[in-house]
Chains A and B, each alone.
Chain A
Amino acid sequence: MSIIENHQTDGEPFCDSPKLKARGVGVFYGDKQAIFDVSLDIGANEVIALIGPSGCGKSTFLRCLNRMNDTIDICRITGEILLDDEDIYAPKIDVVPLRARVGMVFQKPNPFPKTIFDNVAYGPRIHGLVNHRHELEEIVEQSLRRAGLWSEVKDRLDAPGTGLSGGQQQRLCIARTIAVDPEVILMDEPCSALDPIATARIEELIDELRDNYTIAIVTHSMQQAARVSQRTAYFHLGQLIEVNPTDLVFTKPQHALTEAYITGRFG
């Protein structure tokens, strides 16, 4: 398997009401190119799943969308990414407000070693979203409710967030992300460290969150992609091979590589 020369993405990479637009995005780690010329729209209030074998660049692409790759010194990005038609890599853009608009949930649950309350309250606090304690309490409660964690933790908000179970920790991280009220949520394999029950809970949650947020999720589980997403993008060795409505990708894949992957011939 090698990189396909002059590849054009199959299917429908563009959509009618895009929230995020990536155009000709390339990513380099030093001299090594990790992503090749990816153009993709992420529609408002849709869940898009990014799938592909390990090392295909789907996480790297996801991390470009809120400039998390900025923290890696040798990482360089070409092309442009537009959030509501505004280039997020433009020199005048500050990453701090950008990341408040495009939140992120990571592979491994990573609550701060603070209380549950402080975990959720951290974002609103640093962005100065509230003036009073009771407003903050309201946001914390609302976020925990939306993340489906409120009933489990409402009596122990002062307990350390790290003391929760894995699934609860991940929902806490989601609550922490939505407490800042972002427009887009990026999820990088959010269930890979969780058991099936916790996974089901998170998937339900993603479905509920779609009403208010635009979600891009990287996943290794094709069933998960099929369950939660409306569109699916298949990455292969840094190239975007195919983008199509999810049911189409899993029933009638357009590209031979996509078919090979979803039928389990490699991955």
Chain B
Amino acid sequence: MTDQLTTTRSKVEQGMARRRRAEGRFRLYGVLSVGFGLLCLVVLFGNILSQGSSAFRQTVLQAEILLDQEYLGLNNQSPVNELRNGNYEGLIKQYLRNTAEVSSRSERRALYGLVSVGAHWQLQDAVLANPDLLGSTLSIELIMDDNVDQWFKHERDEGGAGRLNELQLGWLEQWVAEGRLKSRFSTTFFTNGDSREPELAGVHGAIMGTLLTLMVTFLLSFPIGVAAAIYLEEFAPKNRITEIVEININNLAAVPSITFGLLGLAIFINIFGVSRSTPLIGGLVLTLMTLPTIIISGRAAIKSVPPSIREAAFGLGASKMQVVFHHVLPLAMPGMLTGTIIGMAQALGETAPLLMIGMIAFVVDVPGFITDPSTVLPVQIFLWSDSPEQAFTERTSGAIIVLLTFLIMMNTVAVWLRRRLERRW
């Protein structure tokens, strides 16, 4: 008996070393995978931040410009459309000619090219905001051309010239020495829509487009998804038809998103005539894509409500509706919200289906309503990444930072909401 006991024990002891090794190995794999994941994240973020952070800065020229009433032919009584049409561009050119010495036409052109073609809008905006400025000297930070911007931010430190010639460099260095050429926080990046000129391009249009599109998506997919989940889980008879519906919902979740774009193009645009390139059509297509995720997670959340709660309510004489809406739904809500937020995050980053429905169009105006033409952040990123100018590369990373910030904000709100709604039983 004792012998048998010792052999059993020694066998167990022998096995122990093997078991411990196996456990150690498994832990190592775990640590390695987590480490690899973190490394990828660090590289990704590091790369984006290092490339994109300069997108938030803009090179400007500090200028004192006399808003010459005679030159412009305007005064503070002039009607708005005349104020709008004033020759501010000429005013800037005049200012530049005065501040740097130029002789030939080609030199003049080189000089004018230093300032952004959109700089005169700055003057126009200032005058429109306050016509009394006419006649006085306006102190303004003129936005510089992207070539100057890139040179000042990147190449100058390394002694490079970028795409500028000797003459231009001479003027610029002089301005730097005078402290007039400087880099400041770029508000245009956040207040402007897209533009052909990198220094004037901003993400405001894309952000508004994204917000409007997500709003449409949420308003459609959340109620429809929750209603479908409740019906399928609580009310639908268990038969062949519901089974087929279930299988197809699961299949839909795995359908490549570009297919939904084609579907939206074929049905919403071609048959129902919804105008293309709007947050409305974008939201409709993304709803199709988000619905399966919301329905599946919603059903899982409903299933996880303990049956004892249902029984308690039924036992008191609650009707099916009352059981569902008083007890099941509140308890399932955190899970449903999690699913919804996963779906919305997916929708936030989706590009492919939106390309099919015209949201890739070049849209300068900032959309104000769901039927205005617009683009969304990921598509904006895609558009910019395709542009040859170096300044757009920088803006691509900048827009990615904005997109990621949005994603993190959304997830934070979701987690907070879930915590608030979560109840123990």
Contact = CB atoms under 8 A, between A and B. Distances in A.
Nearest to B306: A110
Contacts of B313: 112, 122
Interface stretch (B88-96, B316-324, B352-360): B316-324
Interface stretch (A12-20, A173-181, A196-204, A220-228): A173-181
Nearest to B310: A71
B272 interface: no
Chain A interface category by residue count: 20 to 34
A110 B314 contact: no
A71 B314 contact: yes
Contacts of B312: 106, 110-112, 173, 176
A223 B308 CA distance: 27
A96 B425 contact: no
Interface string A102-133: 01111010111100000000110011000000
A104 B331 CA distance: 22
B105 interface: no
Contact of A103 (B316, B322, B326): B316
Interface string B275-314: 0000000000000000000000000000000101111111
Contacts, number: 71
Given A112-B327, A113-B423, A122 B314 contact: no
A103 B308 contact: no
Contact of A126 (B315, B318, B424): B318
Interface string B68-88: 000000000000000000000
A190 to B, nearest CB: 12
Contacts of A264: none
A113 B315 contact: no
A113 B313 CA distance: 12
Interface string A151-162: 000000000101
A162 B424 CA distance: 8
Interface string B143-172: 000000000000000000000000000000
Contacts of A96: 317-319
A180 B316 contact: yes
A39 B312 CA distance: 27
B105 to A, nearest CB: 81
A95 B314 CA distance: 9
Contacts of B419: none
Contacts of A173: 312
B238 interface: yes
- Name the 10 nearest CB pairs between A and B, nearest first: A99-B317, A104-B315, A110-B308, A100-B317, A113-B423, A110-B312, A113-B425, A123-B316, A96-B317, A96-B319
Interface of B: 238, 306, 308-319, 322, 326-327, 331, 423-425
Given A103-B317, A108-B308, 5 more contacts: A106-B308, A110-B308, A112-B312, A112-B425, A126-B316
Interface of A: 66, 68, 71, 73, 95-100, 103-106, 108, 110-113, 122-123, 126-127, 160, 162, 173, 176-177, 180
